Structure 1
């Protein structure tokens, strides 16, 4: 289903947040599309889409796919996705429903990301870009794709970057598209198998890869994220720790499924995680020197809410 401008809503950026030196768009259009899936027996995915508002002359933006955490609805990421889009990205947030087997052998059905979404979303965005009836016609940079991910979605993203089909997050086969240029993931680790396994080498094959962790994450602990970061094989890479955020700092509201309560407000956590996610993606999808300096040179002095470790 093409992007429908009649269903779009302009989402203004909260005035309380100080302006950032990286060029930003003041408004973002939010609407919905349907992602056609390559697996013929699967139902297409509904997706929220966030697009920077521009003047009459269209500007092309890279696509950024947000891979949702397990059992977390796409609507929970609206604040975060809006903020990332303001940095010059088309952010796509699908609801992907499937069944998977947990480490304890239990079968779980519900919202859960998988690697094939990377190719499905890219294919849909190529179609939208070529469709003269779509609001996205000639507005998508189809050569550049970035990944975001939360929790289980981050695990899926790390699998996709490695160009391997990992059990539990990949069905059949997977080939990483050449357009995939970078990924940054919140509240995740790559313990394999999840919960009970070890931390294998992450063969990112020179694709810039970053992790963001809340210092108070009680689901995917900071220690687990740090161990995952150390296993990322090749730079550029970064680990950004958000002080006082828990596992759900990326969502609109906190969630009691994390037993650890945050000390950073939800609004601060959302803004901080989105800002650093966008800077990392701008550095590597758009070759933005200001964003690159934020991540690799100025991180620990620029933002008191974070601690940054990076290698370029």
Structure 2
């Protein structure tokens, strides 16, 4: 082979190798928050994700502004820090009513703090304040604070805790995501909320009917906001209190999309999902 031909072949192979080698670095630089393997329908419906998890109890005596709780987190630190979400229970309920969400979300690559409230009778505004206090504790004083990216945070909650997650989103626009689950709140308009919000209602909810709560909350959010409304077919107000694949898969997708900026999960949100488990879905796709 003439030397010029050999040189061209060597250079071509070298360039190809360099491009292949640089691809993962370029992808990581493009989105440093991306965690875990490429998602599939099976992976977001699974009871556990790719990360092994552990949990730690936070005593109410050791914190201020909320009633303690349980932190669920990925055990590996190989991927760096993780986004985090605080979750509040509903009226008269404790953290145990939502405990199934802890390991399920944490195993997908989040630090999850399910809290108890100061009083089981706290109203949504108080629950919103407590969600924010829990996030502050998680990022500055908790035993897992070094695992948390304090700039990538979200809130969730059930019933009055769901109403509380809307309050928290209104009060702290730097949050990355909010997911109210069968939410209850006397306030219906949330025109100042800037946090991407997925509202999950239940078709047969007799406590916080979708016509008086979840639907007005959705329409009361800004039209320009990244938002979605998912209504669980044939479900009651208490659907979030036990393991629910529909709640889990779309919560994971929403948190990944907006806390992790992971556009690999956009496919599960846009176009609007259709399923026998969903009686109605509204959105503002495509997401910004």
TM bucket by the smaller chain? 0.7 to 0.9
Structure 1 residue 109: deviation in Å?
7.2
Matched, 1:299 2:273: yes
Which residues in structure 2 correspond to 1:1-312 (within 5 Å)? 18-20=42-44, 24-34=49-59, 37-38=63-64, 45-54=67-76, 57=78, 59-98=80-119, 108=121, 114-128=127-141, 134=143, 136=144, 138-163=146-171, 176=172, 178=174, 180-192=175-187, 199=188, 201-224=189-212, 225-233=214-222, 234-252=224-242, 267=243, 270-300=244-274, 303-306=275-278, 307-311=280-284, 312=287
Q: 1:37 to 1:280 in 2, by over 3 A?
A: same
Distance 1:204 1:276 in 2: 24
Structure 1 residue 21: deviation in Å?
8.8
Distance 2:185 2:44 in 1: 32
> How many matched pairs?
240
**Structure 2 unaligned residues grouped into runs of 5+:** 1-40
Distance 2:141 2:64 in 1: 16
The equivalent residue for 2:21 is none
SS in 2 for 1:222: coil
Say whether the 8 Å CA contact 2:124–2:163 is kept in structure 1: no
SS in 2 for 1:280: helix
**Structure 1 unaligned residues grouped into runs of 5+:** 1-16, 100-107, 164-175, 193-198, 253-266
Q: 1:292 to 1:67 in 2, by over 3 A?
A: same
Structure with bigger helix share is 2
Deviations 1:27-53 (A, max 9, x none): 3212212465555xxxx6221111123
Distance 2:89 2:125 in 1: 7
The equivalent residue for 1:5 is none
Structure with bigger strand share is 1
Say whether the 8 Å CA contact 1:112–1:153 is kept in structure 2: no
The equivalent residue for 2:28 is none
Say whether the 8 Å CA contact 2:54–2:72 is kept in structure 1: yes
Distance 2:164 2:124 in 1: 13
SS in 1 for 2:229: strand
Distance 1:158 1:288 in 2: 23
